[in-house]
Amino acid sequence: MAASSLIIGAGPVGLALAVALSKQGQAVTVVDRAPACSSHDGRTIALAQGSCKILARLGVWDTLKGSAHPIHEILVSQEKRQGNVHYRSQDVSTDPMGHLIPMERLHEALLARAREEARITFLRPFVPTALSMNQDNVLLQAEGGQTLEADMCFGVDGRASWVRDYLGFKTRSWDYDQVGIVATLTHTRPHNGVAYEHFLASGPVAFLPLTPFSSALVWSQPPGHADYLMGLDEGAFCDLLAHVFPFLGELTLTAPRRSYPLAGHFVTAPAKGRAFLVGDAAHGIHPVAGQGFNLGLRDVAWFLDQEPRLFEGTSSAALTGAYTQRRMPDIVSMTAMTHGLVKLFSNESRTLRHLRGVGLGIVNRIPPLKKILTRHAMGLSLKG
Ligand SMILES: Cc1cc2nc3c(=O)[nH]c(=O)nc-3n(C[C@H](O)[C@H](O)[C@H](O)COP(=O)(O)OP(=O)(O)OC[C@H]3O[C@@H](n4cnc5c(N)ncnc54)[C@H](O)[C@@H]3O)c2cc1C
């Protein structure tokens, strides 16, 4: 008999997972504590090329690609113009490096796709209060006394995961002492398909290409400075931003600024018993490289790649072990890469700034190294 699964959390990763498990023939129940899907949060998501391919396998990319904006190049630079590195998709592939998509569009497309699957049931609002596992199944209780039963459960309930805390998954966490300000804006010079990652000593500022004269902004700053920036009127905010990042001309906000406190965490093993953690519940990284959702989607792809029979009967111990073994290297290396980038560039020492400039220059002058880093940013296998 086909296995059954409970997914706790109907965010973008939870919905992608629901489609993946349903494609494996499973009966899937998705619960969320929020009464309705609400993702109008100002975020624009950079999808690596590898993620677009996963979304195509899930049957979502065709409806998304009309509203996605391609990224052809990434230019990494630091203030005072000491060294930069320029990644071009054409060096490794005929595809773009990735695409940008508003979070609400991504969420809507995943929800619509999940609703097409007859094997997926939604229950919301559903506020879980207890979760237990035994040899044969998992039991999930909610406020109001409703109890659900399934073969396996998946905690996909985001950064402050209830499943993670309730089941006592061992977690490492830290604070970046930074706040990410997101917005969209227009500029008087075209971006030409280039995503800019510019490191200021106080934190990175990223411009991600949308239409030819508009971009999404992610500006990470220490909390006090972020409060100050959020308090400025729109004109003064744009003038200050154009001063620290003068390459796109005059700037005008087209959507209100929103701010996110930035912290990081990962669990030392994302599965135990009959429970799996997926997406931000298992790992939360700094948005500096725009990789958090991409990493969660690669967790989902792992389940999509398994033989359906592995989910049946008593083989879940083998499944939890294999999930941990195969996903942890990607989770740890992506967490370390983003953490290292933030720490390396958030330092005002002149010597370090000079060394960073030399480092960026070296990457630029060694094409094989640059190709490896470009493939990594595109979410592609490092071979080929
Ligand atoms: C400023 C910023 C910019 C970013 N930019 C990028 C980018 O460019 N590219 C990229 O790949 N990633 C990016 N990310 C990361 C990306 O947004 C996250 O990795 C992604 O949203 C995680 O999705 P998720 O489904 O795992 O979690 P979430 O989106 O947090 O969804 C969790 C779901 O679980 C539900 N839930 C929570 N608690 C419970 C509970 N107790 N019971 C039931 N349901 C519950 C919530 O209601 C929600 O629906 C960015 C993040 C930030 C902060």
Q: Is 291 in the pocket of ligand 1 (CB under 6 A)?
A: yes
- Rounded CA separation 178/160 (Å): 18
pLDDT at 81: 61
Q: Tokens at residue 108, please? A: 């809507």
Could you tell me if 78 and 356 are in contact, meaning their C-beta atoms sit under 8 angstroms apart?
Answer: yes
- Distance set, CA 180 to CA 27, 260, 290 (Å): 38, 5, 12
CATH code for position 23: 3.50.50.60
Q: Ligand 1: which residue has its CA nearest to atom 35?
A: 9
Q: Is 284 in the pocket of ligand 1 (CB under 6 A)?
A: no
Q: Ligand 1: which residue has its CA nearest to atom 2?
A: 287
pLDDT at 95: 86
Position 61 in a domain: no
Strand pairing report for 275-277 and 152-155: parallel
How many folded domains does the chain comprise?
Answer: 1
Q: Is 46 in the pocket of ligand 1 (CB under 6 A)?
A: yes
Position 126 in a domain: yes
Position 259 in a domain: no
In this structure, which long-range contacts are made by residues 140-148, counting pairs with CB atoms below 8 Å and at least 24 apart in sequence? 140/6, 140/8, 140/31, 142/31, 148/6, 148/29, 148/31, 148/123
Helices (H), the chain: 12-23, 49-57, 61-64, 103-116, 162-166, 223-231, 234-244, 292-304, 316-345, 350-365, 367-377
Position 204 in a domain: no
Written as one string, the DSSP assignment of 121-188 is EEE-S--EEEEEE-SS-EEEEETTS-EEEESEEEE---TT-HHHHHTT--EEEEEEEEEEEEEEEEES
Position 311 in a domain: yes
Quote the ligand 1 centre to 12 CA distance (angstroms).
Answer: 7
- Which ligand 1 atom is the nearest neighbour of the CA of 291? 11
Amino acid type, 93: S
pLDDT at 154: 98
Position 78 in a domain: no
Quote the ligand 1 centre to 357 CA distance (angstroms).
Answer: 34
Q: Tokens at residue 3, please? A: 């296995």
**Which of 43, 52, 71, 276 is the best mutation target for the ligand 1 pocket, counting ligand atoms within 8 Å of the beta carbon and taking the most?**
43
Quote the ligand 1 centre to 35 CA distance (angstroms).
Answer: 16
Position 221 in a domain: no
Q: Is 156 in the pocket of ligand 1 (CB under 6 A)?
A: yes
- Which ligand 1 atom is the nearest neighbour of the CA of 157? 34
Q: Is 204 in the pocket of ligand 1 (CB under 6 A)?
A: no
Q: Is 260 in the pocket of ligand 1 (CB under 6 A)?
A: yes
Strand partners, 78: 199
- Averaged over successive runs of 10 residues, the pLDDT of the chain (384 residues) comes to 92 98 96 84 90 97 94 85 75 86 95 98 97 93 96 97 98 95 97 90 91 95 96 97 95 96 96 96 93 97 91 73 95 91 68 58 57 60 50
Q: Ligand 1: which residue has its CA nearest to atom 49?
A: 11
Quote the ligand 1 centre to 144 CA distance (angstroms).
Answer: 26
Give the structural domain span for 312: 4-40+102-173+264-344
- Rounded CA separation 182/205 (Å): 10
Whole-structure pTM value = 0.92
Q: Ligand 1: which residue has its CA nearest to atom 29?
A: 11
User: CB neighbours (10 Å) of residue 304?
Assistant: 17
pLDDT at 384: 46
Q: Is 293 in the pocket of ligand 1 (CB under 6 A)?
A: yes
Q: Ligand 1: which residue has its CA nearest to atom 14?
A: 292
- Which ligand 1 atom is the nearest neighbour of the CA of 14? 25
Amino acid type, 6: L
- Rounded CA separation 373/369 (Å): 6
pLDDT at 199: 85
Q: Which of 25, 6, 60, 54 is nearest to 297 (CA)?
A: 54
pLDDT at 169: 98
pLDDT at 89: 79
Q: Is 292 in the pocket of ligand 1 (CB under 6 A)?
A: yes
Position 129 in a domain: yes
Quote the ligand 1 centre to 279 CA distance (angstroms).
Answer: 8
User: CB neighbours (10 Å) of residue 149?
Assistant: 13
Q: Ligand 1: which residue has its CA nearest to atom 38?
A: 157
